[in-house]
Structures are given as structure tokens and as C-alpha cells.
Amino acid sequence: MASGSGAARSGFEIGEIRKRLVFPSTPVVDGNDRFAEPNNAMTLMNRLQIDHDIEIVYKSCQKDMHEQRLKHLRQKLKSIADDDWRYPSVDKLIGLQ
């Protein structure tokens, strides 16, 4: 069973994805204070909001995937317990009983 997220399996980490989605590849610096202009402040707020939203969706997806794995493991455990009567005990086979 493969563990990890789909993002990690495809070669991307969440930090790398976040950087590619949120931050431009070449930052624009005009020599002035970036926070002085309202437009730059709004851009920064939008980036932070997007970053926050991405993090929430990522955590939710991770939780859902974890719950699916737990459900699958519970089903496997139940099927093993149901089939347990068919086979002799391991302890008996190795001579501990």
C-alpha cells in the first residue's frame, strides 16, 4: 500500500506547489516600500488568502485520505478475523503451544 499524498507521489511537495501557484517566478520590486501602496497590500492579502485556502484544502484532503486508509485497514482486519478459523495458530506451528 503506497502511503503519502498524490502531490508527493508526482514529485511535488506542497511547499513547492504553493510557491508555484501563489508567488510569481520573478518578484517585481519598484524601489519603494512594497507595503506602502494599497494595490501591493491587496495583492499581498490575496496571496495570503490563497495560501491559507490551499493549506485548508490540503489538510482536508489529507484527513479524507487517512480516513479512507483506516476504513480499508478495518475491512482487511475484519476479513482476516473472519478467515482466522481456517488456519492453525502461528504459535502452534512454531511449537510455542
- Phi, psi torsion values for 66, nearest 5 degrees: -65, -45
Nearest C-alpha neighbor of 14 from the set 26, 22, 2, 25: 22
Predicted structure pTM score = 0.50
**pLDDT tens, position by position, 33-74:** 555 567 888 899 999 999 999 999 999 999 999 999 999 999
Domain ranges across the chain? 9-93
pLDDT at 5 over 50: no
Asked whether the CA dihedral 19, 23, 28, 33 is positive or negative, the reply is negative
